[in-house]
Chain A
Amino acid sequence: MAASDSELVRQTLKGDKRAFGVLIQRHQDAVFALVSRLIRNPGDVQDVAQDAFVRAYKALPTFRGDAQFGTWLYRIVWNTCLDRREQHARVQEREVQITADEEDCKGIDGFADEETPLPDAAFEADDVRRRLEACLNRLPVHYRAVLTLYYFEQKSYEEIAMVLDQPMNTIKVHLFRAKSHLRKALLAERSSEEWTA
């Protein structure tokens, strides 16, 4: 039977680097997937993932097992991504601008923004997906992180709050706003296409 993450952490702390190698192999796909969605430059993904694993190794004595190893690791990955972004702070990012009125959204607990128009049924599924992919890449990094952890990693609000070190309500707000932005971006794209057609 394969050793659990906690067991591998214990072995690593006893000086067995190979145990950490097993942890890397177990989590590398998820880490690359997360970093790919947070870092815009694909060339940086491997560097950031590598850096995150090295940081995790150094911080291993502080891992107390309160959370799952994966959740703890994601938090390190998230902080590594933020540090990398800071390093590239001078590079101007073309993020979707959040205007003041958009910040003040309602219906945080659900998907209750009844006022926001939604993409209608005329959108073909593949078309929506392609457009969403393009819009996703322009979202602010916090929104991308929440969307990725929720829809890709299937983390609960509570786990996402732990990873991003933010209150659970903030996570719900970010999820809501991210979707709101995407809906509006889709509609804006569609309107401009109709205008030019």
Chain B
Amino acid sequence: MTCTDFRLLAERRAAGFPLKARQERALERHLAECSACASVARFENGLATAVREFPAVTPPADFADMVLAQLPDPVTVPEPSFREYWWNLALGVLAAGAASWALWQKAPSWIPWLTGERERTQIADVLFNAYMSMGEVSLPTMSVVFLALIGLTAWGASALAVGER
């Protein structure tokens, strides 16, 4: 270890961070031999003491009450009401239904975020094929399951967004 390492250890010890026993022993040995580092260690100790013992104002006994008296109305995070809860669910199901219908229609041209006809068709084909290859389940049942999954996801996301799980 170099003098720089020992000075860093002296700084950490002065600041109150505990050293390992072997670091402590090595530091003591080094400080006994190196007067420059011993001087730094003294400075560090003096500085730490000066910072700790710096005259500080103490809070009055009723400080907490004084602050509480100044506080505005409780800062509560609004919890969604029962009505809002079902409204979120309905919106989620509607959104999921709309998305499913759009996919079923192979992403018609009014979906603005798909770039061109060719890309729209390709993406829609991929999704449609994935949807159709999900098993031997009948199409109406599959649609219901698909809708329910998307609806639940949308519902969960909207509930999370308002801070309620």
* A interface with B by C-beta (< 8 Å): 12-17, 20-21, 24-25, 28-29, 31-33, 35-37, 42, 45-46, 49-50, 53-54, 57-58, 60-61, 107, 110-112, 114, 118-121, 123, 125, 128-129, 132-133, 136, 147-148, 150-152, 154, 179, 182-183
Does B56 sit at the interface, judged by CB under 8 A? Answer: yes
0/1 string, B29-64, CB within 8 A of A gives 1: 000000110111011111111111111111110011
* Chain A residue at smallest Cβ distance from B60: A46
Residues of B within 8 A of A152 (CB): 51-52, 54
* B interface with A by C-beta (< 8 Å): 3-5, 7-8, 10-11, 14-17, 35-36, 38-40, 42-60, 63-68, 70-72, 74-77
Residue from the list A45, A58, A151 in contact with B15, Cβ < 8 A: A151
Residues of B within 8 A of A179 (CB): 43, 47
Evaluate contact between B47 and A147: CB separation under 8 angstroms: yes
Residues of B within 8 A of A120 (CB): 39
Return A42 CB to nearest CB of chain B, in Å: 5
Using A20-B68, A32-B59, A50-B70 as known contacts, say yes or no to A121 and B7 having CB atoms under 8 A apart: no
Evaluate contact between B67 and A133: CB separation under 8 angstroms: no
Return A148 CB to nearest CB of chain B, in Å: 6
Evaluate contact between B48 and A151: CB separation under 8 angstroms: yes
Point out which of B4, B10, B17 has the most chain A C-beta atoms below 10 A from its C-beta.
B4
Residues of B within 8 A of A54 (CB): 67, 70-71
